[in-house]
Amino acid sequence: MASEASSVDHRHLLPNEFDLLLDGDVGFGVVPLKAHVRKCARCRSELEALQELTTVLDELPRFAPSPEFANAVMQQVHVFRPWHVALRDFLTGLVPRSAPARVLAGAGAGGILVFFGLVTAAVVLRLDLIIFSSSLLADRVRTGALQMGTDLVATIGGQPAMEAITVTGGPTAAIVVTVVALGSAAVLALGLMAVAARRQRAVR
């Protein structure tokens, strides 16, 4: 402390030391600076001039844009409402405002829930029928997918590919379809990444 004070006593304040005083820094570091300013007329005058300047700067007013500014901005802003917010707002809008109407609506909703509960219970009791229908549906989906894959391979690879599949069987077809699907997915992903990168640049 003593050495700091003496080093300031034998010279005028440095620019960064004036900044410390202007910015209202507190602590041991500014004590010798303040002591020096009290004793040194030149540094005191310099500090007062800078303080006057910062006071004027601090009091500078903010300017207002034209009254139509906000409207002009809002016309060009795309207000995007996420689907979950829209759904929530829709459901909230369905709730009646008056208490009796809300009770009535609650009773109606309860009735609907009970009805669907009963239907669900009835369906669960016929579980064997559901399993049979599901397996039938799955079989049809599998046959359709296989046919679609074969057509795709025939379109892309032509006769040689079809012969290769006939010789080696189903696994080859599965591999070919997987490769084609992965290729398409990669192209799609690259496209999406490019769009995202362009948007990122636009924000900056």
Partner 1 sequence: MAPLLDLANLPDADVVVLAQQGRGEAFRELVRRYERPVFSLIYRMVRDREAAEDLAQDTFIKVLNHIDRYRPEFKLSSWLFKIANNVAIDALRKRQLDTISMDGSPHAATSSEIEASSFDVEARQENALDELEAREIGSAIEDAIAQLRPEYRACILLRHVEGRSYEEIATTLDLPLGTVKTYIHRARHELRELLSHLREE
- Asked if residues 21 and 33 have their Cβ atoms less than 8 Å apart, the reply is yes
Q: Which of residues 168-187 bind partner 1 (CB under 8 A)?
A: none
Kindly tell me which residue out of 52, 139, 151, 163 binds partner 1, with binding defined by CB under 8 A.
52
Quick one: which of 35, 34, 32, 40 has its CA closest to 12? 40
Given 39, 69, 111, 182, the residue binding partner 1 (CB under 8 A): 69
Q: Which of 3, 28, 92, 94 binds partner 1 (CB under 8 A)?
A: 92
**Residue 14, C-beta contacts closer than 8 angstroms, at least 6 positions apart:** none
Binding flag, residue 90, partner 1 (CB under 8 A): no
Q: CA distances (Å), 177 to each of 108, 140, 143, 144, 162, in order?
A: 51, 19, 15, 14, 12
User: Does residue 9 bind partner 1 (CB under 8 A)?
Assistant: no
Q: Which of these segments, 30-38, 62-70, 113-121, 180-188, binds partner 1 (CB under 8 A)?
A: 62-70
In the chain, the amino acid numbered 108 is G
Asked if residues 153 and 177 have their Cβ atoms less than 8 Å apart, the reply is yes
Q: Which residues bind partner 1 (CB under 8 A)?
A: 15-16, 19, 22, 49-50, 52-54, 56-58, 60-66, 69-70, 72-74, 76-82, 85-86, 92, 199, 202-204
